[in-house]
């Protein structure tokens, strides 16, 4: 589930639900490979997600921050295929290469581990082990 959180965070960043066209368009334009490969960009998105205010957030970061709680709660089970693919990519990166950031994001978005337990089997099927 913790990976779901990160995946949803950064994935949503890249491509949010297809339900909201303006939101999706904005997040679809985010190059997740660039964000994951650029320390400064990655840090900025993580800081945005962890901060209580939106002062340090880009418009895409703010959008992701609004949508992330629902994505975490659902385990991305209702995500469009492209969003799910991007979520898996981001989640793998964060859980495998950024465990300290993963721990902080998980503590904020799934403090009781409720969603981790609920969705861990689904994420394991997607190639992510919690």
Any idea where the domains of the chain sit in the sequence? 2-125
For position 20, what pLDDT does the model report? 42
Return the ∠ at Cα 17 (arms to 36 and 95), rounded to 5°. Answer: 35
Question: Within a 10 A sphere around the Cβ of 124, how many other Cβ atoms?
Answer: 12
For position 6, what pLDDT does the model report? 47
For position 112, what pLDDT does the model report? 94
| CATH code for the part of the protein at 2-125 | 1.10.2080.10
For position 24, what pLDDT does the model report? 57
For position 64, what pLDDT does the model report? 86
For position 1, what pLDDT does the model report? 54
For position 42, what pLDDT does the model report? 93
For position 66, what pLDDT does the model report? 85
Residue 6 CA to residue 68 CA, distance in Å, equals: 9
Residue 115 CA to residue 38 CA, distance in Å, equals: 29
Please tell me whether residue 93 adopts helix, strand or coil conformation.
Answer: helix
For position 21, what pLDDT does the model report? 44
For position 82, what pLDDT does the model report? 86
Q: Report phi then psi at 30, rounded to 5.
A: -75, 125
Q: Kindly write down the DSSP assignment for every residue of 1-26, as one continuous string.
A: -HHHHHHHHHHHHH---TTSHHHHHH
For position 84, what pLDDT does the model report? 87
Q: What is the mean pLDDT of each run of 10 residues along the chain (130 residues)?
A: 48 42 66 95 93 81 86 88 88 92 92 92 86
C-alpha distances in angstroms, 38 versus 34, 41, 64, 108? Answer: 6, 5, 18, 23
């Amino acid at each position: 589930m913790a990976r779901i959180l990160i995946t949803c965070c950064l994935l949503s960043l890249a491509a949010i639900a297809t339900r909201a066209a303006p939101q999706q368009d904005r997040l679809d334009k985010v190059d997740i490979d660039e964000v994951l490969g650029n320390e400064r960009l990655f840090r900025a998105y993580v800081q945005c997600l962890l901060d209580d205010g939106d002062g340090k957030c880009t418009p895409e970061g703010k959008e992701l921050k609004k949508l992330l709680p629902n994505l975490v709660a659902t385990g991305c089970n209702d995500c469009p295929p492209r969003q799910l693919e991007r979520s898996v990519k981001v989640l793998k990166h964060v859980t495998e290469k950024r465990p300290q950031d993963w721990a902080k994001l998980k503590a904020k978005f799934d403090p009781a581990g409720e969603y981790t337990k609920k969705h861990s089997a689904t994420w394991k099927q997607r190639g992510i082990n919690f």
